[in-house]
Amino acid sequence: MPYENRVTRQWQRPPEGLGLTWQVAPRELRVSGELKALWTATEPSQDYDDALASQEGRHLRTVGYSYDRLSGLPCFWESAHLDRQAAQVLVNTARNGLQAYREKLARQRADAAEREAFEAANRERQAAEDLDLATRAIAAAKESLERHEWAWALADDVTRARRLILIPPAQLERRLAWALEMYVERAQANVDRAMAAMTAIYEPEAERAAIEDVQIAALEGCRLLSARDSDRASINNKMGWGRTTTVKGHVLSSHERFDTILASHALRALRTHRRQLPPDLDRRLFGLSAEAWIAASADAA
């Protein structure tokens, strides 16, 4: 935009107010073919900045107030048709509204600061809760896998859980921690169902289950089949427990000793896998006439 070499007419000067003082003479410039005077302030003014930012700012801009592109200082574009009295009314109105604007701005900033503090506290609380959740989920999954991996129904669950427990708690996403908890709960539910099914004595085995030596032998037999059940009955190889007995068998194996009730269910499960038992253990469990006794028990069932 070319500058004129000299002032070619007498300009009115900007309206007074808003803490502004103006340079002695303007620069004359042509804007879209119209000659205008660009008045530039000698220094910044907070009143001016606030007035232009307030709701009155759009009226001030319409009449010619702005900022100089080169210096960034307040400026006023005076046109040849300026109604200075009307412009002065706009300046006075903006000045009178400064206190209300600043109070409103202060409230808005206070509200924003309060919201930010609230959100920051929520983020901090959520991060602490997520860390606690992840820590508990990882610990529970480790314990569950160590104590009864056999109760995890799906091999994919085990694989994924072993991968997740290697992630530091602070980096474990909430949804993944929830997934770990779900795996643990699912495994525990399998254990609970198996235990619930063994709360009452299994009558066909009740007589032998009451014998202490049979109880000891039954626990040995359960632990033997559990040791052979590394595939958790996922492969039909006639080793270890079968699919219908694997959870119950491992639950039984986890006990330190059997009472009559547990021994009765152990005998019931072991007779299904009798061919895997060593002869001596078989005799201790089922006696010298084991085959006849098992047949009779099967008929009674």
293 and 213 in a single domain? The answer is yes
149 and 66 in a single domain? The answer is no
Task: Read off the pLDDT of residues 182-229 as tens digits, 9 standing for 90 and up.
Answer: 999 999 999 999 999 999 999 999 999 999 999 999 999 999 999 988
Distances (CA, A) of 176 to 149, 152, 161: 19, 17, 9
Task: Read off the pLDDT of residues 123-172 as tens digits, 9 standing for 90 and up.
Answer: 999 999 999 999 999 999 999 999 888 888 788 899 999 999 999 999 99
The reply to whether 186 falls in a domain is yes
Q: What is the mean pLDDT of the chain?
A: 90
Assigned token pair, 160? 């994924």
The reply to whether 284 falls in a domain is yes
pLDDT beyond 50 at 4: no
Q: Summarize the confidence of residues 14-23 as an average pLDDT.
A: 95
227 and 295 in a single domain? The answer is yes
- State the pLDDT confidence band at 232, using cuts at 50, 70 and 90: low
pLDDT beyond 50 at 66: yes
Higher pLDDT, 301 or 217: 217
The boundaries of the domain holding residue 46 are: 27-96
Threshold 0.75, pTM exceeds: no
Task: Read off the pLDDT of residues 85-98 as tens digits, 9 standing for 90 and up.
Answer: 999 999 999 999 99
135 and 158 in a single domain? The answer is yes
Quick one: pLDDT at residue 9? 86
| Number of domains observed in the structure of the chain | 3
pLDDT beyond 90 at 3: no
